[in-house]
Structure 1
Amino acid sequence: MRIARTLVPAVLAVALTACGGGGGSSTSSADTTPSEPTESSTEEAVPTRGDADLVIWTDALKIDAVKTVADTFAEQNGISVEVQAVSSDLQTNFVTANTAGNGPDVVVGAHDWIGNLVANGAIEPLQLTPDQLSGYSEKAVQATTYEGQLYGVPYGIEALALYRNTEVVPEEPANLTEAIDAGKQAVQAGEVESALNLPVGENGDAYHMQPVLTSMGGYLFAYDEASGYDASDLGVGEPGSVEAARKVAQLAKERVLRTSISGDNSIALFTEGKAAFLISGPWALGDIKASGIDYAIQPIPGFAGEEPAEPFMGAQAFMVASGAENAAFAQEFVTVGVNNEEAMQALYEGATLPPAMTSVQDGLQDEDIALFAEAANQAAPMPALPEMAAVWEPLGKAYAAIVGGANPEKTMRDAGRTIESAIQGG
């Protein structure tokens, strides 16, 4: 894909980090803006490279899983490998260290970093054929491909799904309209306080609102199967996004959407039995299971008579640093040592992310993880464009304003103009 507009300056783009689950999720932030940093970069967060033949950076949540695969590769190839955890701002610290020549050979991170990393010249493309990638989910390969080149081997995927309190809503809804109606009936009956916990918060939540936007015909950036996302075709402010804004306003008037429900309390309120439905990701599973509440999960359906809902899909991937001290080992590790079923199974067992490799998906014994893999396979890869830096805050605030009573059409069109101006550097 060729970007027709001026990129967000690379110096500013470096400040972005993908969640990773970060914020409680494993791939993309469970909070409002998965690609925005949650902590400041600190010197203490950056490990010393050391003298190992192959150095890999990841986050603390995944280090044990990555180490299992790395140790196997080291033994098979007679080399030394060190896996290091970067405690905060992994993406920013990686770009800085790579530029300074003291970074790792391989970095493990979210796919939506890729556009920024490419803009900063921080990662190298991978030479894998379509046949070699055929064992992965199609969406995972799309996510890690940027401007027609593969930059990461994906191993974990995730997306939002719809959790249901089966005690108050026993039957699975056919669409989101049916779910909301059932939730509203449960509220009226005094069984719950909220029909649907979809995080909004005071500043809005563009990440969690994406299923609403897409079901109503909206989009962030146009997507083409051959070229990927087109940064010159912004959908915010276009008719589909305006329809989504009207739907948000309607749901707010019905008290389905509220700014008092945010990423900080939406899961807890569901586990306390105060909501009929919850839109969240696999990062909520631990708390929900521990609560003992009766629940079910399904991919998020669209509204009745509208388009399918497409939440964001995030992928965790292994990427080769452009400044790798041992580039040959790095390429071999990512394209061979990671790129096999045994390694992918080990990564799944260690990190418990829905797997990107379809054969590992087929063997899943955990029904909840299998449902999240299905949800991710139906979702749309989050754009890896650096231009996404200009989207999160204005769009999130627009949603919050609409929920608060602002004119939906004007607010969404104003958000589009704000984003467009930022992308063009105005």
Structure 2
Amino acid sequence: MKKFFSIFLSIMILAVFSLGCSLDGDQKQIVSETKPKKLVVWDEIGKTAGIEPALNRFEQQYGIKVEVKEVDITKMLELLYQEGLAGNAADVITMPHTQLGQAVTRGLVMPIKVDKALVSQFNESAINALTYKGVLFGLPRSIETPIFIYNKKLMAQAPITFDELYTFSKEFTKYGYYGFLAPWDNYYFAHGIISGFGGYVFGEKEGIPSPKDLGLNNQGAVQGLEYIQKWYAEGLFPKEIIGESGTQTMDGLFTAGKVAAVMNDPRAIQTYKNATIDIGIAPMPSLPNGKPVKTFLNVKGWFVTPYSKNQGWATKLIEWLTNPENAKIHFEKTGEIPPLKQLISDPMIVNNEEAKAILLQSQNADPIPNLPEMAEVWNPMTKALQLTVTNRLEPQKALDEAVNAIIQRIQANQGK
């Protein structure tokens, strides 16, 4: 059965590449396959209002009905597999890019072939997130990345550099008040500092990420962790924000007006607003080495499934959903930010402090690696961070141990 499915998938991949090569680059291209009566889209629960206007116009333009089903995005792939076997799967689905490696390995999404000019409209980092082993599998729907959030009553404006922020924090931090806090004992947030100093998760070989090349204990990674350690060692971060409840504690201090600024996910913004904090939002300041903080980037994308009998039209549909006009409508209705380069100067973004900050920060962000091996990185790196910021291990030793643990976990769990 597995052999049969493998052969089937190979045929489907060749078919979609052949179809893609026949497509013209114009947005109004004619798809060279029989026009279907209907396409089925699986969207995230609570987000369909963002795509309904685009789908209505698609139906009017091409005479193809589009049926939408809301699905729990965390269960999207499992449901696709189950419904695929039953012949009831979608033509197009949405999912986070971090699930792409698993989806490709299981044969649940197809490569897409689209015009290079269309691809170039998106932030490169977002396109990289939807590329697996050198092959593009989807188009970006929205992005999210950690940003700088500050209390305007305590900080007049966002600093441009971390040197400025450090000086501010040294003067401000006393009597239970803090100038700046970040959950840097959590690798998701600490990555931006480590990567900004030159560390990396997986290196690349001929443009393809290689789990055999780990850059998490190189000189840059050590320098990044030393910089993180400095903030804890000098009492600028309280010990209470270390551990599983650290981010929650940090949020409590910020909403209580005890912290001038934090590094956090955009999802925290509404919590801060609900606490009636007058917040400002900006990209992260630059590091002491002059480099940007290379935060982790999360990308949601649109993908074509191998169960679709109309993959050319399904590809056309995801191009339609992500074009600038429809992406702007999606943003207006859902607040999710599309990674389109041209929107950085659009009044819709310019006049939205949150969206502008996220879009600017995303230009310097690293997509979370979409390889299955990434699952083996989180725990060892978080352990290394916590051992360092609590002064139980020096940065080099902690990172060496983390890398050894990652290698062992990859060999044991990923068959590498």
TM-score greater than 0.5 by the shorter chain: yes
The residue number in structure 1 matching 2:228 is 248
Aligned positions, number: 369
For 2:317 and 2:83, the matched residues in 1 are separated by: 18
Kept in 1: contact 2:281–2:353 (CA 8 A): no
The residue number in structure 2 matching 1:360 is 343
**Deviation per CA, 1:49-78, whole angstroms, max 9, x where unpaired?**
xxx932222322422213332333234333
**Deviation per CA, 1:72-128, whole angstroms, max 9, x where unpaired?**
323433333232222362344245336534432211122222222112111111111
RMSD: 2.6
1:315 and 2:315 correspond: no
For 1:85 and 1:255, the matched residues in 2 are separated by: 47
Kept in 2: contact 1:108–1:318 (CA 8 A): yes
CA spacing shift, 1:305–1:284, aligned 2, 3 Å: same
Structure 2 unaligned spans of 5+: 1-36
The residue number in structure 1 matching 2:407 is 420
The alpha carbon displacement at 1:155 in A equals 2.5
TM-score normalised by the chain length of structure 1: 0.79
Q: 2:101 aligns with which of 111, 115, 130?
A: 115
The residue number in structure 2 matching 1:14 is none
The alpha carbon displacement at 1:272 in A equals 2.4
**Deviation per CA, 1:13-59, whole angstroms, max 9, x where unpaired?**
xxxxxxxxxxxxxxxxxxxxxxxxxxxxxxxxxxxxxxx93222232
For 1:228 and 1:264, the matched residues in 2 are separated by: 37
* 3-state SS in 1 of match to 2:170: helix
For 2:101 and 2:51, the matched residues in 1 are separated by: 23
**Deviation per CA, 1:181-216, whole angstroms, max 9, x where unpaired?**
31232122x4x633322125xxx4111111221233
Kept in 1: contact 2:217–2:403 (CA 8 A): yes
Q: 1:221 aligns with which of 187, 202, 216?
A: 202
* 3-state SS in 2 of match to 1:108: strand
1:158 and 2:138 correspond: no
For 1:378 and 1:344, the matched residues in 2 are separated by: 21
Q: Which contiguous aligned blocks of 4+ residues in structure 1 show a shift greater than 4 angstroms?
A: none
Structure 1 unaligned spans of 5+: 1-51
Identity %: 25
* 3-state SS in 2 of match to 1:305: coil
* 3-state SS in 2 of match to 1:128: coil
TM-score normalised by the chain length of structure 2: 0.80
Q: 1:234 aligns with which of 214, 221, 225?
A: 214
For 1:256 and 1:82, the matched residues in 2 are separated by: 53
For 1:315 and 1:328, the matched residues in 2 are separated by: 23
Q: 1:104 aligns with which of 90, 98, 102?
A: 90
For 1:233 and 1:159, the matched residues in 2 are separated by: 25
* 3-state SS in 1 of match to 2:240: coil
For 1:197 and 1:110, the matched residues in 2 are separated by: 28
The residue number in structure 2 matching 1:260 is 240
Alignment of 1:165-180 (within 5 A): 165-180=151-166
Kept in 1: contact 2:73–2:95 (CA 8 A): no
CA spacing shift, 1:273–1:417, aligned 2, 3 Å: same
With 98-107 and 414-423 compared, the bigger mean Cα shift is at: 98-107
